[in-house]
Amino acid sequence: MGSQGGFYQSKEFLDLVKSIGEARSKAEEDRIVLSEIETLKRRISEPDIPKRKMKEYILRLVYIEMLGHDASFGYIHAVKMTHDDSLLVKRTGYLAVTLFLNEDHDLIILIVNTIQKDLKSDNYLVVCAALNAVCKLINEETIPAVLPQVVELLGHPKEAVRKKAIMALHRFYQKSPSSVSHLISNFRKRLCDNDPGVMGATLCPLFDLIAQDVNSYKDLVISFVSILKQVAERRLSKAYDYHQMPAPFIQIKLLKILALLGSGDKQASETMYTVVGDIFKKCDSSSNIGNAVLYECICCVSSIYPNTKLLDSAADAISRFLKSDSHNLKYMGIDALGRLIKISPEIAEQHQLAVIDCLEDPDDTLKRKTFELLYKMTKSTNVEVIVDRMIGYMISINDNHYKTEIASRCVELAEQFAPSNQWFIQTMNKVFEHAGDLVNIKIAHNLMRLIAEGFGEDDDNADSKLRSSAVESYLHILGEPKLPSVFLQVICWVLGEYGTADGMFSASDVTGKLCDVAEAYSSNETVKAYAVTALMKIYAFEIAAGRKVDMLPECQSLMEELLASHSTDLQQRAYELQAVIGLDVHAVECIMPLDASCEDIEVDKGLSFLDGYIQEAIEKGAQPYIPESERSGLINMGNFRNQNHHESLHGLRFEAYELPKPAESAEPEPMYPRETYQTPVSPIPSNPSDAGSAELKLRLDGVQQKWGRPTYTPETSTSNSTSQKSVNGASAVNSTREAYASRKPQVEISHEKQKLAASLFGGTSKPEKRPATGHKVSKASSHMVEKSHVPNSSMEVAPEKAAPAQPPPDLLDLGEPTATSTAPSLDPFKQLEGLLDTTQDALAANSATTASRSPDVMALLYADTPIGIHNKDDADLLSGLSNPSVTNMAGATARPRLSQSSSKGSNPKDSLEKDALVRQMGVNPSSQNPNMFKDLLG
C-alpha cells in the first residue's frame, strides 16, 4: 500500500495545515491563507523549479482553493503540468485542472491537445488519467476533438480504460446528445462486456437513453432481466459483493432501467415479475444496502404494469420501512408509499398513524416528504385538513425555496379541490399573505380571473357572493401592517372592480382604504398604479350610478402628488382619473362599463374607423403611410420625425406615451386604456398618426397575451343559503386562527391523532358528503379547457388527478381498531430508544477519555441495533462486531481490519501511536476535537 499514513509532504505544507488547524477564527484562517497565497505567487513564477517542488505547489494551490480562496493565478501552471512527460507529474496536473476548471474555462483549449496525445498513450494509466480529465473538462465544442479516440478506447484491452471511455461517452451524451447519437450501438455492445465493471458502467448511459426513448430499447428487456437474474443468483465475481449482497449497485441500476421499460407495457412487465419477486425475497432487510435494493424494487413495481403478488410484497416492505425506528427507513417508506398509492390507494389506510407520526416528527426532511405524500393523496374530502397543515408549515419555515414550492402546491390543491368559495378565498389570502412575494405572478392573475369570471357555471348569484366575500376579506386584511406586493395588486384590482358592487361598502370606505394603500406603499409604483386605477373605477361606477362623487381629501392630495409624479405611468393614470371624473354619465358608462373585465373586446387592428380621417389628410396633401417593413433600414429617425411633422399640425407630441413595458406586464387591468381607444368619446385624444398605430399595436399584444391565458377551474359548490355564507366569511379568519393556536396541544393526544388520521385518510368526520365531486371537477375542468384558448399545465393534469379522487366508499370507515393496536406497540421501542440514548451518551463520554472501556456492554447493545454502528468511535467495538452472529454490515466493516491488523492501525495501540504522532506535530488541539484522531470507521 502506498501511503500508510506517512505524511510525506514538505515541512512547509505541514506547517500550513497545522496553523490553519489551530486558527481560532475564520479571519485568522483567512490571514494565514492569504499569506500562503502570496508565498505561492512568488515561488511559482520563479524560473527552473524542480518538478517535485512544482507538484507540491500545485497541491498547495488545490488545498487553498478547497478552503474557498482564489487560486486562479496558478491555473496556468497546473495546465503546464499536464504537458509533462512523467506520469506522476502529469497525474497531479490532471487532478489539479479537473478540480480547478469548469468546462467553460478558457484554458481548456490548451489541454485538449495534451489529452488527445495522452489518449493514444501505450501506458493505460496515462489513458485513464486523460479520460478522467475528459469527463470533467470536455465541453460541447471540444467533443469532436476527442470523440474518435474515446470511441476507439471502447475496445481497449484494459477494462479500466473501457469503463472510463463508456463514462466519457455518457458525459458527451449529457452535454450534447446529437454528438454521440450515431454511437449508441456501442453502448449496447458494451452491455455484453466480459468485465462486470464495464457492464455496470454501461448501465448509466443506457438508463439515460432509455429514459429519453423507451420504445427503441424494448428488445433489451430480455437481456436486462437475464443480467439481473444472474446478478441476483451471485453469478458475478465475489469482488462485487457488498455487505454480502451480490452487486447491489448494479441491481439497483438494472431495476431502475426495468422500471422505465416496463412502464405501461404489460408484455414487457410480465417478463420481469419473476426476477423482481425473487429479489424481494432475497433482499436482506436488516442491512442498509438491502433496503436500498428493496426500495428500488418498490419503485420498479409501482412503475411497471401492476401485479398483485408483487404489489403485496411491496406493501409488506413499505410497512416494514414505516415501522422501523430508523428515520431513514421511515423517509424511504413515506416516499415509497407515495409511489404505490397511485396504483393501490387503499394501502395508505393501513399506515395512517405512521404517516401522522412522520408529519409530527421534528425532523424537517421527514416532514416535507410526508407533505409530498399528502399532496399526492389529496382529494376533495381531505383537502381542507391537508392545505391547512401545509399552510401552517409554510408559515413556520424560512427556506424560501421550499416555501415557494409548498405555496404553489397549496394553490394548486385549492384550485382543484376547493369545497367552497369562502374557503378558497381564505386559503388564497393566507398563501398570499405569507408567501406572496414568492409565488408566481400568474397565480395572482388566475385568482383575479377567478373572481372576475366566477366558477365557470351559470350561477351569477354564487359569483357575486364570491366577490362580496373577497371584497370583505380584503378590506379586513388591509389592516395588516406589511403585505406582499403581489397580494396588494390583487386586492386593489378586486376592490376597484367589485368594491362597491354589492352595496355593502360605500365608495368612500373603499376609496379611503385604497388611498391608505397608495400611501403606505408609496415606494411601490406598481401597487400605486393599481390603487389609482381602482380609484378611477370606483368613481366611474359612482358616476355611472348617478351618485354624486365627493373625493376624499386624502384622495385629492394623493392625486395632486401623482399628477406631478416622476413616473409617467402614474402621471397618466392620475390625469385619466381626473378626466373621467369630469365626464358625464353617458361617457363614463361607455368608458367604464360595470363588471366588464371579462367581456371580449374586439380589436380592429386595421383601425378602419380612421379611414375617413386618413383619406381626408391625404387629399390635403399628406404623405401616405409606408408600412414599417418597407421603410426599415432606409429611413432614420430624422425622416420619421419629418413625416410626423408633415402630417400633424404641431411638431411636438404632448400626450404621454403608453405605459412602460415592465409595469404593463405586471398588470391585470389593461381595460381602461384599451377602451379609451375603442370608444369615440375618449378622455385623451389619441393621436391618429402612424406612430399612434404602432403604439397601439404594441399595447394590444400585451393585452392579447394577458387575456388569452386560461383560467383555472375549481368546482362550484352548490349554493348554500346566503346568510350562512356571509356568517362563514366573517368568522372564517378567526376560526382558522383558533385552529392554528390549538393544533400543537391537540396532536400530543392519540385520540386527536386518530381524528386527524380520519380526516386525512377519508375520515368519519366527513361522511360521503360530496361523492360526485371528483367527477365534477374533471367535468368542470374539461369544460374549461374547451373554453380557454391555451390550457395551462395545472389544467392539463386536472382530469388525471381527479381520477383517484373518487374514494371507494368502504375507505371511509377505517381504522379505529388498527389505530389502537399500533399505538401501544410503538411504545416499547420508544422506551428502548430512550435507553439506548442514555447509554450512547455515556459511551461517548467514555470514548472521549479513551480510558475506561466496556466491551461486553457494547457488544450486547449493538448486536441489537443493526444500523448506525459505524458512527461509534470506540475501537473496542470491533470485538463485538467481529462476532459472526451480528449483522452483515458489521461483519463487513470488521473484515478489512482483521485482514490488515498485521500491517497497521486496527488495534487501539496503533491508533494511539497515530494519535501521538499527530499530537507531536501539533496539528490539532485535541481539546477542541477529541474525536478527530479516531478512525473514521471505528
Partner 1 sequence: MIHFVLLISRQGKVRLTKWYSPYSQKERTKVIRELSGVILTRGPKLCNFVDWRGFKVVYKRYASLYFCMCIDQDDNELEVLEIIHHFVEILDRYFGSVCELDLIFNFHKAYYILDELLLAGELQESSKKTIARLIAAQDSLVETAKEQASSISNIIAQATK
CA–CA gap between residue 888 and residue 766 (Å, rounded): 48
**Nearer Cβ to partner 1, position 55 or 573?**
55
Residues 33-52 that bind partner 1 (CB under 8 A): 51-52
Other CB atoms within 10 A of residue 166 CB: 29
CA–CA gap between residue 861 and residue 365 (Å, rounded): 28
**Can residue 240 be called a binding residue for partner 1 (CB under 8 A)?**
yes
**Can residue 831 be called a binding residue for partner 1 (CB under 8 A)?**
no
Residues 308-327 that bind partner 1 (CB under 8 A): 326-327
Residue among 192, 197, 189, 188 at smallest CA distance from 218: 188
| Cell numbers linked to 859 | 457488544
With CB under 8 A as the contact rule, the residue among 37, 128, 318, 703 that binds partner 1 is 128
Residue among 878, 872, 843, 873 at smallest CA distance from 933: 873
Residues 578-617 that bind partner 1 (CB under 8 A): none
CA–CA gap between residue 120 and residue 294 (Å, rounded): 43
**Nearer Cβ to partner 1, position 247 or 443?**
247
Site string for partner 1, 872-891 (x = CB under 8 A): -x------------------
The H or E element that residue 61 is part of is: helix 51-66
**Can residue 91 be called a binding residue for partner 1 (CB under 8 A)?**
yes
CB of 370 to partner 1, least distance (A): 12
Other CB atoms within 10 A of residue 458 CB: 9
CA–CA gap between residue 32 and residue 20 (Å, rounded): 7
CB of 635 to partner 1, least distance (A): 45
Name the segment binding partner 1 (CB under 8 A); options: 238-246, 267-275, 577-585, 698-706.
238-246
**Can residue 480 be called a binding residue for partner 1 (CB under 8 A)?**
no
Name the segment binding partner 1 (CB under 8 A); options: 34-42, 425-433, 584-592, 917-925.
917-925
Residues 888-907 that bind partner 1 (CB under 8 A): 892-893, 896-897, 900, 903-906
CB of 904 to partner 1, least distance (A): 4
CA–CA gap between residue 531 and residue 483 (Å, rounded): 14
263: β partners: 304
With CB under 8 A as the contact rule, the residue among 47, 157, 362, 612 that binds partner 1 is 362
**Can residue 821 be called a binding residue for partner 1 (CB under 8 A)?**
no
**Nearer Cβ to partner 1, position 14 or 563?**
14
**Can residue 802 be called a binding residue for partner 1 (CB under 8 A)?**
no
**Can residue 918 be called a binding residue for partner 1 (CB under 8 A)?**
yes
**Can residue 449 be called a binding residue for partner 1 (CB under 8 A)?**
no
CB of 256 to partner 1, least distance (A): 8
**Nearer Cβ to partner 1, position 31 or 51?**
51
**Can residue 291 be called a binding residue for partner 1 (CB under 8 A)?**
yes
With CB under 8 A as the contact rule, the residue among 136, 323, 376, 766 that binds partner 1 is 136
- Nearest-5° angle of CA 521, CA 526, CA 512? 50
Q: How many residues bind partner 1 (CB under 8 A)?
A: 119
CA–CA gap between residue 854 and residue 872 (Å, rounded): 13
CA–CA gap between residue 406 and residue 393 (Å, rounded): 9
Gyration radius of the chain over CA positions:
36
**Can residue 730 be called a binding residue for partner 1 (CB under 8 A)?**
no
| Cell numbers linked to 2 | 502506498
**Can residue 934 be called a binding residue for partner 1 (CB under 8 A)?**
yes
- First-to-last alpha carbon distance for the chain, in angstroms, is 20
**Nearer Cβ to partner 1, position 80 or 136?**
136
869: β partners: none
With CB under 8 A as the contact rule, the residue among 75, 187, 280, 295 that binds partner 1 is 295
807: left (phi over 0), alpha (psi -120 to 50) or beta: beta
What backbone torsions phi and psi does residue 606 show, to the nearest 5 degrees? -75, -5
**Can residue 191 be called a binding residue for partner 1 (CB under 8 A)?**
no
**Nearer Cβ to partner 1, position 222 or 932?**
932
With CB under 8 A as the contact rule, the residue among 49, 59, 145, 601 that binds partner 1 is 59
Cβ pair 354, 324 in contact under 8 A: no
**Nearer Cβ to partner 1, position 394 or 555?**
394
**Nearer Cβ to partner 1, position 331 or 712?**
331
The H or E element that residue 626 is part of is: none
CA 811 to chain centre: 32
CB of 365 to partner 1, least distance (A): 5
**Can residue 328 be called a binding residue for partner 1 (CB under 8 A)?**
yes
Output the CA–CA distances (angstroms, integers) from residue 408 to 402, 412, 523, 714, in the order listed: 10, 6, 27, 15
**Can residue 911 be called a binding residue for partner 1 (CB under 8 A)?**
yes
CB of 747 to partner 1, least distance (A): 19
CB of 866 to partner 1, least distance (A): 14
With CB under 8 A as the contact rule, the residue among 42, 182, 281, 401 that binds partner 1 is 401
Site string for partner 1, 149-188 (x = CB under 8 A): ----------xx--xx--xx-xx--x--------------
With CB under 8 A as the contact rule, the residue among 44, 62, 257, 447 that binds partner 1 is 62
**Can residue 403 be called a binding residue for partner 1 (CB under 8 A)?**
no
3-class DSSP assignment, residue 504: coil
**Nearer Cβ to partner 1, position 156 or 776?**
156
Q: Classify residue 818 by its DSSP letter.
A: H
**Nearer Cβ to partner 1, position 240 or 625?**
240
Cβ pair 580, 683 in contact under 8 A: yes
**Nearer Cβ to partner 1, position 91 or 753?**
91
**Can residue 67 be called a binding residue for partner 1 (CB under 8 A)?**
yes
CB of 165 to partner 1, least distance (A): 11
Residues 500-539 that bind partner 1 (CB under 8 A): none
Give me the DSSP letters along 736-789: HHHHHHHHHHHHHSHHHHHHHHHHHTT-TTS-SS-TTHHHHHHHHHHHHHHHSS
Residue among 162, 163, 241, 253 at smallest CA distance from 204: 253
CB of 89 to partner 1, least distance (A): 9
Residues 198-237 that bind partner 1 (CB under 8 A): 200-201, 204, 237
Q: Where are the alpha helices (DSSP H) in 633-721?
A: 637-647, 661-665, 671-678, 690-708
Contacts of 61 (CB under 8 A, 6+ apart): 40, 44, 71, 74, 77, 78, 96, 100
**Nearer Cβ to partner 1, position 97 or 659?**
97
Place of cell 444472474: 230
With CB under 8 A as the contact rule, the residue among 154, 289, 411, 529 that binds partner 1 is 289
CB of 545 to partner 1, least distance (A): 51
**Can residue 27 be called a binding residue for partner 1 (CB under 8 A)?**
no
| Strands (E) located in 459-547 | none
**Can residue 938 be called a binding residue for partner 1 (CB under 8 A)?**
yes
Output the CA–CA distances (angstroms, integers) from residue 188 to 109, 146, 158, 230, in the order listed: 32, 21, 19, 18
CA–CA gap between residue 74 and residue 12 (Å, rounded): 18
